[in-house]
Structure 1
Amino acid sequence: MANSLKAFNLPFNSLADVEKFEQTPIEQWVPYHSVYDAFCATVEKFADKPALIALPPGDPMGEGIPITYRELLAKTNQTANLFLSAGLKKGETVTYILPLCPQAYFTMLGAEAVGTVNAVNPLLEPEHIHGIAEAANATILIATGQALSPELWEKAAYVIERMPNLKAVYVLGGDKECDGKKIFPLDAETAKQDASAINGPLNDSLDDVIGYYHTGGTTGVPKLAPHTNRMQLSQIASSGFGLGYSEKDCLLAGLPMFHISGSIVVGLVPMLNGITLVIVSPQGFRDPLVIGNYWRLVDKYKVTVLGGVPTMMSALLNVPVGDADISTLRAGLTGGSAAPIEVLKAISEKSGVPMLEGYGMTEVTCFTTMQPQQGEVRFGSVGLRFPFVEVKAADIDESGHITRFSDVDEIGEIIMKGICVTPGYVQAEYNQKAFTTDGWLRSGDLGRIDADGYIWLTGRAKDLIIRGGHNIDPSIIEEALHEHPSVELAAAVGRPDAYAGEMPVAYVQLKPDANVTPEELKEFAREHIPERAANPADLTILSEMPLTGVGKIFKPALRHDAAVKVFNAELKALAADGVVITVTVDNHPVHGSLATVSVTGGDKDQLGPQIAEKLGPYTLRHEVVWQG
């Protein structure tokens, strides 16, 4: 690692640079068999440099507590030894429900060294957390104590009660919860352990499973994607190259660690490249104090990369830079959900650095595409593929066979293959639909690849609704509505949203002679949907649900209807004094879907910028047609 860290930060102008990087085998870029070994090599090089700086909760501009790489290794060793002392064996899992804090990093690194780590979204309902822990074969639970969060401890208690086979529970901020038999205070017990080395068997094989990451969050038990040493090690080099990371970087860590964005993209990959991470708040970027002070934090810590999900970028547009010096920024990175082009342009102008959009999935460890750091920025594209992963667009039949790869600029389903791809879900029943018959991972996203290798996403083959980076399975909404005695058919789709990207909305066809209002159905849904994020923002009763020729609900028509409603509402104020504005949304061979705004009357020079301002924050592309 010591000889190759700087080499990852190479010029990235075009696909030719990716191919040049691949000429050196991955084993030479990252000559290790485990993430722990790679981390130890990083520590040897950067022992006294801050790896983490933890800002005081509730006071982001207060003095942070630095943790050097040497200290982080000591805590990692102690945490791993704690798990071993509790009886953790290879193949068993440490599930943790923690906010953003140093202990979350200790847990991730320590558990990956000797077992399997499984971070869980604390916002999930207790039964979902329990289902994930069961599926992950969790034998140790790390939880947040009542003093820090009564709500999180209540969820942990729900899991503990239903998992009698847990070997130990360690509580952050634990006090009265701890019984000294099975439930212990995390920090006190960790401090008792040996910090000099890990005293037990390590995950020392490239194919050892070291992490389980759950996808989505609103189905009964989200799918668990295993991560191996090989997968995560490959990303040290490929994502290090693609994201332009070097030891000169400093990043604000505010993305959740139950997601690859927080744990890998701005977690393991930068740390194993010698970067300093500033932990902004237990709430991460959901803390309004952090967003309000973002530019001042960039100034104070000389942050080099502006990173976050598109909703966060939209929020930052409302925060003045003021007298903060943000000249240390070298690039902006975003992903997790589609980013509106106007937001990307606006945040690029505000920050002074190009806001580069990338693409990745839990199942591929990290990002697999990114706009080239030094190359041409094509807003609306998710950039070029990273080294050591193939990305294609293809036609795939119902049995999972690739019938043909798409031509240049032809839309197909985006598929990926490479060393970063998961070997398959823990729940094996999902694997047949997740992979083609010859082993390509199916993303479920539609897209096209242009002549220069830039990848453009155009829609989704699957029905997931992505609300602010949070995956919502529409079936959970539909199943709840179908429980209502008046509902004949129900469908949920994503409605364009200027902030969250999409919001779930529902369409219902009632049974004959049924009499119920949309408000009553929305209230019924709220009572029966177990996840707040999935509650439909709007509900429409249709006289007849649009169906395909074989009787399936035709969801594209519903998505288009939802988009028309949103755009009509946005443009309503402009349709006055003889101005007539109509909106239609249809399929488009390049963009997937396109809104056509037809305008009759009015001043084109005045109305044009007003329409662009109102519709620019949406990811759905639009064009204006002037009727004279």
Structure 2
Amino acid sequence: MPGMVFSELTPVAFAARAAKVFADRLAVVDGDLRYSYAELWHRAQALAGVLDGHGVRPGDRVAVLAPNTHVLLEAHYGVPLAGAVLVALNTRLAPAEIAYILDHSAPAVVIVDASCRDVLTEALKHSAIRPAVIDSGRPHDAYESLLAGATPRAVAVTDERSLLSINYTSGTTGRPKGVMYHHRGAYLQALAMAYHAQLDTSARFLWTLPMFHTNGWCFPWAVTAAGAVHHCLRKVHPPDVWRAIRESGVTHFCAAPTVLAMLADDPAAAAPAPHPVRAFVGGAPPWPALLARMSTLGIEIRHLYGLTETFGPAVVCDEQPEWRDLPLARRAPLMARQGIANVIAEPLRVVDPHGADVPADGSTLGEIVLRGNDVMLGYYRDAEATAAAATTDGWFRSGDLGVMHPDGYVELRDRAKDVIISGGENITCVEVESALAEHPAVLEAAVVGAPHPKWGEVPVAYVMLRADASVTEAELVTFVRARIAGFKAPRRVVFGELPKTSTGKVQKNLLRERSARVATDRPDEP
């Protein structure tokens, strides 16, 4: 109709709205710092003014190197308000890795937390660019001084599919790729997360998930959309998480399975949470045994699945009402599945090598492919990789293998590169890892293939035990063989800590290298 005006979608709009409808409500808790949604909006606009004063123009990149502080949260609003593109840097990377990302993204400004200043200084020695640097946090908190004297600014979004942020992958091999997010996708994904998390003004969200990781699954915008409280957390330490639940009333958090395992094994877990807590787990399939353990602690787990390329969780394991009446032993495996497309996503597919949908029988393996508003624009300055990631009809190729169940729920079985082919039989590592994790002594487990002169490959397990627990290699192998086919049981079990990426993913490439050096010429099992 003539005269109608429609706004371009952008997640920044959630802060503008919150400043009006939740003006005096508590928005952010960061140590001793507390401020409202009206103050968050003012600070975000002030940051945009600071960036403008540093010469940042629409389309320029602004990097932030900081843990989960109010500064990184504000940057999710202030940087786009300046018309710029947010590049949240992984605080756990080495200086040389950060230097690569700086050179690739070429930010005009870097905002750095005091705890990361030495790393940035070293990275800049290896970098070809010379961005302006704004220090935040004591002892030299230029950030706060600049905000206090800034003229608020807000650049309107004129194209909702324009570039909002660049998130660099933390893959286990090769150079990181810059995944490009658009305003429309982040807006819709934030609404999906708020919906599936059931966030409202009574919710208190603890920042256990790094905001630098896929923009915190879009929760920096989702929590604000709901008018809930952001509880910032610089470092994940299990006693601190339990303290936040018990003393600060935290109701929601996100984590990888390894964090849940740490929480379950912490002495503070002796008593369950005093109120219902909802946790969202992603990054790897959670073991049914872990889901069962968290349930006894009063923490409801909702499994999510996605990739950096899909704005984080594109798939959610929504619990069906009839599941709640099932015994925990039957309910946990259902909840461990990856699930169905989130509320704003297109229904996902599982396809064979020719691109045809596999039967929905819960057993036929195929590649998970996704498409929709929550899929990236592409890889920054890498047209070749962008083209390789898509099928001919525009579906994003995840590289993950799974099955489609008759009820429409997808279950992840493995990364394509992680499937073990032993004597012509396919062994999915996830199945073996889940069996290992059922043992009460096992905290975490990872399984990879090792070369074998007869079978081609055989499974080797790397296991981290719970504190003060003990089990022998033979006992674990027997335990697994009682649960799954004998040929899938590990030929070797290596005890110790598991190597992980900066975002908590097990570095299976390193384990495969180790396994190649492990002798596997034991007598064949019957």
TM-score > 0.5, shorter chain as reference: yes
Identity %: 21
Which of 219, 222, 225 does residue 269 from structure 1 map onto?
A: 222
Cα deviation for residue 38 of structure 1 reads 2.8
The code of the aligned residue for 1:502 comes to A
1:379 corresponds to:
335
Distance (Å, rounded) in 2 between the aligned partners of 1:596 and 1:163: 47
Distance (Å, rounded) in 2 between the aligned partners of 1:566 and 1:350: 22
User: Mapping of 1:418-429 within 5 angstroms?
Assistant: 418-426=372-380, 427-429=382-384
Which of 357, 361, 369 does residue 307 from structure 2 map onto?
A: 361
Go from structure 1 to structure 2 and tell me whether the alpha carbon gap of 1:173 and 1:587 turns closer, same or farther (over 3 Å shift): same
Counterpart secondary structure, 2:376: coil
Cα deviation for residue 570 of structure 1 reads 4.5
Distance (Å, rounded) in 2 between the aligned partners of 1:595 and 1:185: 57
Cα deviation for residue 441 of structure 1 reads 0.8
Distance (Å, rounded) in 2 between the aligned partners of 1:354 and 1:338: 16
2:14 corresponds to:
38
The code of the aligned residue for 1:112 comes to P
Distance (Å, rounded) in 1 between the aligned partners of 2:449 and 2:351: 31
Distance (Å, rounded) in 1 between the aligned partners of 2:118 and 2:384: 31
1:212-255 Cα distance to aligned partner (Å, 9 max, x none): 01112554530111111001011132222222222221111122
Is the contact made by 2:461 and 2:490 (CA closer than 8 Å) also made in structure 1? no
1:123 corresponds to:
92
Which of 445, 456, 459 does residue 561 from structure 1 map onto?
A: 459
Cα deviation for residue 371 of structure 1 reads 2.2
Distance (Å, rounded) in 1 between the aligned partners of 2:39 and 2:208: 21
Is the contact made by 1:395 and 1:406 (CA closer than 8 Å) also made in structure 2? no
Counterpart secondary structure, 2:305: strand
Go from structure 1 to structure 2 and tell me whether the alpha carbon gap of 1:417 and 1:89 turns closer, same or farther (over 3 Å shift): same
Go from structure 1 to structure 2 and tell me whether the alpha carbon gap of 1:562 and 1:164 turns closer, same or farther (over 3 Å shift): closer
The 4+ residue runs of structure 1 with deviation greater than 6 A are 322-325, 564-567, 582-588
Is the contact made by 2:358 and 2:404 (CA closer than 8 Å) also made in structure 1? no
User: Mapping of 1:16-27 within 5 angstroms?
Assistant: none
Go from structure 1 to structure 2 and tell me whether the alpha carbon gap of 1:349 and 1:119 turns closer, same or farther (over 3 Å shift): same
**Residue 152 of structure 2 corresponds to residue 190 of structure 1:** no
Distance (Å, rounded) in 2 between the aligned partners of 1:328 and 1:164: 51
2:44 corresponds to:
76
Counterpart secondary structure, 2:265: coil
Go from structure 1 to structure 2 and tell me whether the alpha carbon gap of 1:499 and 1:323 turns closer, same or farther (over 3 Å shift): closer
Is the contact made by 1:359 and 1:367 (CA closer than 8 Å) also made in structure 2? yes
User: Mapping of 1:591-606 within 5 angstroms?
Assistant: 595-596=488-489
Counterpart secondary structure, 1:339: coil
**Unaligned residue ranges in structure 2 (runs of 5+):** 1-5, 324-330, 421-428, 492-505, 507-526
The code of the aligned residue for 2:118 comes to E
1:310 corresponds to:
257
2:494 corresponds to:
none
2:348 corresponds to:
391
Is the contact made by 1:242 and 1:369 (CA closer than 8 Å) also made in structure 2? no
Distance (Å, rounded) in 1 between the aligned partners of 2:262 and 2:118: 31
1:227 corresponds to:
181
Cα deviation for residue 33 of structure 1 reads 2.3
Cα deviation for residue 258 of structure 1 reads 1.2
Go from structure 1 to structure 2 and tell me whether the alpha carbon gap of 1:501 and 1:270 turns closer, same or farther (over 3 Å shift): farther
**Residue 108 of structure 2 corresponds to residue 133 of structure 1:** no
User: Mapping of 1:475-624 within 5 angstroms?
Assistant: 498-499=442-443, 501-502=445-446, 557=457, 560-563=458-461, 570-572=471-473, 574=475, 581=478, 595-596=488-489
Distance (Å, rounded) in 2 between the aligned partners of 1:596 and 1:450: 25
Go from structure 1 to structure 2 and tell me whether the alpha carbon gap of 1:272 and 1:582 turns closer, same or farther (over 3 Å shift): closer
Which of 157, 181, 185 does residue 203 from structure 1 map onto?
A: 157
Cα deviation for residue 335 of structure 1 reads 1.2
User: Mapping of 1:396-435 within 5 angstroms?
Assistant: 396-397=353-354, 402-409=355-362, 410-426=364-380, 427-435=382-390
Distance (Å, rounded) in 2 between the aligned partners of 1:49 and 1:99: 24
Distance (Å, rounded) in 1 between the aligned partners of 2:271 and 2:478: 42
1:100-130 Cα distance to aligned partner (Å, 9 max, x none): 2111112222112221001111221212111
Cα deviation for residue 175 of structure 1 reads 6.1
Distance (Å, rounded) in 1 between the aligned partners of 2:463 and 2:11: 49
TM-score, L = length of structure 2: 0.77
Distance (Å, rounded) in 2 between the aligned partners of 1:543 and 1:295: 45
**Residue 413 of structure 2 corresponds to residue 458 of structure 1:** yes
Counterpart secondary structure, 1:268: helix
The code of the aligned residue for 2:19 comes to V
Larger Rg: 1
Go from structure 1 to structure 2 and tell me whether the alpha carbon gap of 1:124 and 1:259 turns closer, same or farther (over 3 Å shift): same
1:448 corresponds to:
403
1:26 corresponds to:
none
Is the contact made by 2:63 and 2:88 (CA closer than 8 Å) also made in structure 1? yes
Distance (Å, rounded) in 1 between the aligned partners of 2:148 and 2:338: 44
1:102 corresponds to:
70
Counterpart secondary structure, 2:379: coil
1:48 corresponds to:
24
Cα deviation for residue 584 of structure 1 reads 6.4
The code of the aligned residue for 2:94 comes to E
1:14 corresponds to:
none
The code of the aligned residue for 2:401 comes to L
Is the contact made by 2:272 and 2:296 (CA closer than 8 Å) also made in structure 1? no
Cα deviation for residue 167 of structure 1 reads 4.4
Distance (Å, rounded) in 2 between the aligned partners of 1:570 and 1:153: 44
Counterpart secondary structure, 1:354: strand
Go from structure 1 to structure 2 and tell me whether the alpha carbon gap of 1:97 and 1:464 turns closer, same or farther (over 3 Å shift): farther
Q: How many residues align?
A: 455
Distance (Å, rounded) in 1 between the aligned partners of 2:462 and 2:120: 43
Cα deviation for residue 159 of structure 1 reads 3.5
